[in-house]
Structure 1
């Protein structure tokens, strides 16, 4: 494939993505500026982080234009690991709660 026949993406697409990244970074900064605490803080930080990573991955790393099979190879293992981490966190909380209940009832 020659350089001339390669697909060209408009500069406006990249400028829009940069704008969205700026807006998401601003909201991420506002979480700290407003001194939000607890689960709300971490939820917002993670949501903004995943949104920014998704934009960067899809546009700047050109994953948006890849085949479905490559997308599945990239994202299914990460999704499975995230589910596994969530399940293990739930299991850990349950184990800690049952141990505390057992030790305080003696």
Structure 2
């Protein structure tokens, strides 16, 4: 008697994919409305980035099946992205400080 290994493939209901598709449509519409209402400055960029990250999260979680993966695999994907975002935030703060010091003391260059 031989043992045959089978993959445990779960079938997700089609309704889940339609709901996610609907949310992606709503988030894309909200992203479009940011431009339609001519929002400017930090609010515009914050909203566009927020909608972009939400859409990317939905796509990764459902369509790439990360919502059903092992926690270690999720950490392997999310922790590096989180670290990059932290480093980008640090660089933004550092660039503001550098601009301020160059503006206040232009002779030190």
TM-score, normalised to structure 1's length? 0.92
- What is the total number of aligned residue pairs between the two structures? 102
Deviation at 1:58, TM superposition (A): 0.1
**Stretches (4+) displaced over 2 A:** none
1:103 deviation in Å? 2.1
Give 1:1-106 correspondences, 5 Å limit: 1=6, 6-103=9-106
Unaligned runs of 5+ in 1: none
Aligned to 2:3: none
**Greater Rg by CA:** 2
Partners of 1:19 and 1:89 in 2: CA distance:
34
User: 2: distance between equivalents of 1:102 and 1:87?
Assistant: 22
Taking structure 2 as the reference length, the TM-score comes to 0.90
Higher relative contact order (CA 8 A, sep 6+): 1
Give the deviation of 1:99 after TM superposition.
1.3
User: Is the deviation greater in 41-50 or in 91-100?
Assistant: 91-100
Aligned-residue RMSD, C-alpha: 1.2
